[in-house]
A and B are shown apart, each in its own frame.
Chain A
Amino acid sequence: GAVVSQHPSWVICKSGTSVKIECRSLDFQATTMFWYRQFPKQSLMLMATSNEGSKATYEQGVEKDKFLINHASLTLSTLTVTSAHPEDSSFYICSARDTSAGYHEQYFGPGTRLTVT
């Protein structure tokens, strides 16, 4: 089946630094990828929709200058948390849509646990 990987699986950084999270579709091409964040004991909240070769579409309330998204190829999207603060600590999950498999096929990565100290 289709596999989506994320790197790193967990990261600890100091307040004020930037962190980059990678999301890769390993065996399919993904024109569209999605980034979610999940707070403890809560559901997934969509942050942005990432499209290959174009600017990401951010959900209301998500700061695009803080959460930089780059979808440079059909298999890679990156999320950079700039000037991270403790309140950015969360579980970040990406998903990728397998364009060839039909509109409803979306696969999730294993997530990245970010802790900002």
Chain B
Amino acid sequence: AQSVTQLGSHVSVSEGALVLLRCNYSSSVPPYLFWYVQYPNQGLQLLLKYTTGATLVKGINGFEAEFKKSETSFHLTKPSAHMSDAAEYFCAVSETGGYQKVTFGIGTKLQVIP
């Protein structure tokens, strides 16, 4: 079984400040890990993913995440928040075999304060 824990359902940062969204996962096998962003009444957009290889993954819009196996974490960061980053962010873990079902965290709503 796999699961995802996102710490903090709401995070507020000032424009220009560091963004840090936390994600811890549980998986019985080496996981695939994802971060998605969702704007109101829209579907999900993939920010970045980790499958294999380099543990520091760079995504779109200046976001990056680091896979830390020892900490079972995959935290999302961005050095400088922009107003357009305000959205809901979901961390997800996927099976690496079978139908590769994706399990999502509860989401973190990011508010950017001008």
Contact = CB atoms under 8 A, between A and B. Distances in A.
A43 B105 CA distance: 6
B84 interface: no
Contacts of B101: 34, 46, 49
Contacts, number: 54
Contacts of B102: 34, 46, 95, 106
A106 B105 CA distance: 17
In this complex, the member of B43, B90, B94, B106 whose beta carbon has the largest number of chain A beta carbons within 10 angstroms is: B43
Q: Say which size band chain B's interface belongs to.
A: 20 to 34
Interface stretch (A61-69, A80-88, A109-117): A109-117
Contact of B43 (A104, A106, A110): A110
A103 B41 contact: no
Contacts of A103: 96-97, 100
Interface in B25-42: 32, 36, 41-42
Interface of A: 4, 6, 32, 34, 42-44, 46, 49, 51, 57, 91, 93, 95, 97, 103-104, 106-111, 113
Shortest 4 CB-CB contacts between residues of A and residues of B:
A110-B43, A108-B44, A111-B43, A43-B104
Given A93-B43, A104-B94, 16 more contacts: A32-B100, A42-B106, A43-B104, A43-B106, A44-B44, A44-B90, A46-B102, A49-B99, A49-B101, A95-B44, A103-B96, A103-B100, A104-B51, A108-B46, A109-B43, A111-B42
